Amino acid sequence: MKPVVDFLKKSQTQYLATIGTDGKPKVRPFQFKLEEGGKLYFSTTNDKQVHKEITQQPYVELCACGESWSWLRLSGKVVFSQDRSIKSRIIEEAVPLIKAIYRTPDNPIFAIFYLDEATATISDFSGNPPQTFRL
């Protein structure tokens, strides 16, 4: 778990792939928020297209680049959470840009989710096989 969390934190931006409501793949920049109880949390707002997509098709994959041409692929099933304490932590730890969007953990558009059945792979061009983590 730790190498995956460290990789996510260092990468700053990840790219979240979903299946669109038109059945075609979609991908946009996304940001890992925090790990809690062995779960990797992300946030969004429920007025966005991506929220509609992950509600309809909860399987997603994220990708990020790291040092020395390494890359991470993380897939799993989206599970929405209503945990107010985690929502609070996400807002507290957020950069001002995100804080300004969500404002309070009770904001009705603020949605958080974690990945269930998550698998991560870290690969590089070293010739070593990719490392796989079941989270």
Partner 1 sequence: MSTVTDFLIKSRVQYLATIGLDDKPKVRPFQFMLEEAGKLYFCTSNQKPVFKELQKHPHVEFCASGENFSWLRLSGKVVVSKDLGLKARIQDASPIVKSIYKTPDNPAFEIFYLDGAVATIADFSGNPPQTFKL
Under the rule (CB under 8 A), what is the footprint of partner 1?
Answer: 13, 15-19, 24-29, 57, 59-63, 65, 71, 73, 75, 97
Nearer to partner 1, 7 or 86 (CB): 7
Query: Minimum distance from CB of 39 to partner 1 (Å)?
Result: 19
Nearer to partner 1, 16 or 91 (CB): 16
Nearer to partner 1, 4 or 60 (CB): 60
Query: Minimum distance from CB of 35 to partner 1 (Å)?
Result: 21
Residue 74 and residue 8: Cα distance in Å, rounded? 10
Residue 9 and residue 5: Cα distance in Å, rounded? 6
Query: Minimum distance from CB of 130 to partner 1 (Å)?
Result: 11
Asked if 112 and 129 count as a contact pair (C-beta separation under 8 A), the reply is no
- Alpha helix (H) residue ranges in the chain: 2-11, 49-56, 84-93, 96-102
Nearer to partner 1, 75 or 107 (CB): 75
Query: Minimum distance from CB of 33 to partner 1 (Å)?
Result: 17
| Nearest C-alpha neighbor of 76 from the set 59, 64, 62 | 59
Task: Tell me how far CA of residue 133 lies from CA of 40, 71, 76, in angstroms.
Answer: 13, 14, 12
